[in-house]
């Protein structure tokens, strides 16, 4: 009896005794008591990298069954700590989303950003009435002034005028409510030239790829339009093997004097929109610019030919050519060790330092490459008697081998049955 009374009294004392309050130690990591407790996940204060994902899950479930806010209340220490741990990539993403154009009132719905440049940004969008994916290029907010707006609209007009399978077609053009110009083009899926595994392709396939690059550029040259920024990043190879030349935003209308094709300092090409480019401005990409283009001198279609020669070198060797502007023909040939002498001569002629030594346009380069692939003589390489004999043997190798085998066998048979 006494034991039971003592035990009951002790139990009562324990029940009445107040529990000691512990001061929270903000330095100690606290294990989350949410659904991830069993896996050892920590709270958002200890694992700041999980905060954006947690907030994203909360946003995704806002209209679902759960409405938990893991970031804490606006006045809590947890909320202030969470805001401190926002990553730079998350902030940049939020900034990009905040600058997305407002297409309300149009037929397009933006899905995601595809790429951003100095003049405009390209978005993947949906054309709602037709339910098809399109690409929309919108002028950047920082570049929203008259000359660049005119350039964007001019690029749309250039692309609309160049109806070629190797040039992306234009569907629509317009202006947003904030004054930014935009145009809508076909959505192209594929990889750019610098993303391809060129080393895994045969020489014939690589030359065929380069020949398909030449066709749209030659089409533009025939209409007096110079691209001025040809490079692997502006060449797209589609899912079905089609080749598209992109980014005609700095295209020019050539006004070179056709009566003096050898003069390197011909009259400069005119802007598609007058005044869109300031006088003396260098347009292009280092490594792919012709010497006269880098000097902001007058250029014509031969500036594009130079860039095409560099692209051919990249396709065949996997790297850009390395030589100074005073390098002679022999040093340039030594830098290009892939292919025959005639193929090397084509590349060297396209990358000649003086414009008068290059092909006149992309069509002339394409014709010479076609002759090379067919086994014919090329204008870039003057042939001697031995060169012509070598080309003849290479072109008719199989018949020559069969004839030689036949003659050898006939000689052996004649000797065997000789008396």
| Chain segment 203-249, per-residue pLDDT in tens | 999 999 999 999 999 999 999 999 999 999 999 998 888 999 988 87
Same domain? 74 vs 128: no
Residue 183 CA to residue 170 CA, distance in Å, equals 7
Q: Are strands 225-226 and 252-253 parallel, antiparallel or unpaired?
A: antiparallel
pLDDT digits (tens, 9 = 90+) for 140-185: 765 556 676 777 777 777 778 888 999 988 888 888 888 888 889 8
Instruction: Identify the residue whose tokens are 């051919």.
Output: 312
Same domain, 348 and 408: no
In this prediction, residue 211 carries a pLDDT of: 95
How confident is the model over 343-368, as pLDDT tens digits? 988 999 999 999 999 999 999 999 99
pLDDT of residue 159: 78
Q: Say how many C-beta atoms besides its own lie within 10 A of residue 361's C-beta.
A: 23
Q: Taking a C-beta distance cutoff of 8 angstroms, is the pair 79, 44 a contact?
A: no
Q: Determine the structural domain holding residue 134 and report its residue range.
A: 99-186
| Residues facing residue 167 across a β-bridge | 245
More confident residue, 11 or 386: 386
d(CA 278, CA 147): 10
Identify the pLDDT of residue 105: 82
Q: Which helix (H) or strand (E) holds 81?
A: helix 77-84
Most confident of 19-33, 189-203, 239-253, 323-337: 189-203
- Say which of 88, 172, 197, 229 is annotated catalytic: 229
For the chain, percent of residues with pLDDT exceeding 90: 25
Inside any domain, residue 14: no
Of the candidates 26, 30, 27, 55, the residue with the CA atom closest to the CA atom of residue 40: 30
Beta-carbon contacts of residue 414 (< 8 Å; ≥ 6 apart): none
Q: 282 — alpha (psi -120 to 50), left (phi > 0) or beta?
A: beta
Percent of the chain exceeding pLDDT 70 equals 62
pLDDT in tens, 253-310: 775 533 333 333 334 444 444 444 555 566 778 889 999 988 888 889 999 999 999 9
Q: Are residues 332 and 275 in the same domain?
A: yes
Would residue 67 count as lying in a domain? yes
Domain presence at residue 30: no
pLDDT of residue 400: 86
CA torsion, ordered 323, 327, 333, 336, to nearest 10 deg:
10
Q: How many domains does the chain have?
A: 4
On whether the CB atoms of residues 119 and 137 are closer than 8 A, the answer is no
Output the pLDDT for position 266.
37
The angle formed by the CA atoms of residues 348, 351 and 354, to the nearest 5 degrees, is: 110
For residue 32, being part of any structural domain is answered with no
More confident residue, 406 or 277: 406
Judgement on whether residues 392 and 248 belong to the same structural domain of the protein = no
CATH number of the domain enclosing 136: 3.30.200.20
Q: Is residue 24 part of a domain?
A: no
Mean pLDDT of the chain: 74
Is residue 102 annotated as a catalytic residue, yes or no? no
């Amino acid at each position: 009896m006494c034991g039971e009374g003592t035990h009951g009294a002790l139990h009562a004392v324990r029940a009445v005794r107040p529990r000691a309050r512990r001061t929270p130690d903000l330095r100690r990591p606290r294990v989350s008591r949410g659904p991830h407790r069993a896996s050892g996940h920590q709270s958002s204060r200890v694992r700041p990298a999980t905060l954006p994902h947690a907030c994203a899950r909360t946003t995704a479930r806002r209209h679902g069954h759960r409405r938990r806010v893991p970031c804490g209340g606006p006045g809590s220490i947890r909320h202030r700590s969470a805001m401190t741990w926002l990553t730079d990539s998350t902030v940049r993403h939020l900034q990009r989303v905040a600058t997305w154009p407002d297409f309300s009132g149009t037929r397009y719905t933006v899905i995601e950003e595809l790429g951003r440049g100095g003049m405009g940004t390209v978005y993947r969008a949906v054309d709602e009435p037709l339910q098809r994916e399109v690409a929309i290029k919108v002028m950047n907010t920082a570049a929203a002034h008259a000359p660049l707006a005119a350039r964007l609209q001019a690029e749309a007009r250039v692309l609309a005028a160049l109806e070629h399978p190797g040039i992306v077609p234009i569907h629509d053009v317009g202006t947003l409510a904030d004054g930014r110009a935009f145009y809508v083009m076909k959505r192209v899926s594929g990889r750019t030239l610098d993303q391809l595994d060129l080393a895994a392709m045969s020489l014939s396939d690589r030359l065929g790829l380069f020949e398909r690059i030449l066709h749209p550029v030659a089409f533009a040259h025939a209409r007096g339009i110079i691209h001025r920024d040809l490079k692997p990043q502006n060449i797209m190879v589609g899912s079905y093997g089609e080749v598209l030349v992109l980014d005609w935003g700095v295209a020019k209308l050539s006004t070179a004097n056709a009566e003096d094709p050898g003069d390197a300092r011909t009259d400069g090409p005119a802007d598609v929109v007058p005044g869109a480019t300031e006088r003396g401005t260098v347009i292009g990409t280092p490594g792919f610019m012709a010497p006269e283009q880098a000097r902001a001198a007058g250029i014509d279609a031969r500036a594009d030919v130079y860039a095409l020669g560099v692209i051919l070198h990249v396709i065949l060797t996997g790297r850009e050519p390395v030589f100074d502007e005073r390098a002679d023909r022999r040093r340039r040939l030594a830098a290009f060790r892939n292919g025959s002498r005639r193929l090397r001569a084509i590349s060297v002629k396209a990358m000649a330092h003086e414009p008068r030594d290059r092909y006149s346009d992309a069509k002339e380069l394409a014709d010479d490459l076609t002759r090379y692939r067919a086994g014919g003589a090329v204008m870039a390489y003057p042939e001697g008697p031995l060169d012509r004999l070598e080309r003849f043997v290479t072109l008719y190798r199989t018949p020559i081998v069969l004839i030689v085998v036949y003659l050898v066998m006939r000689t052996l048979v004649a000797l065997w049955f000789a008396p």
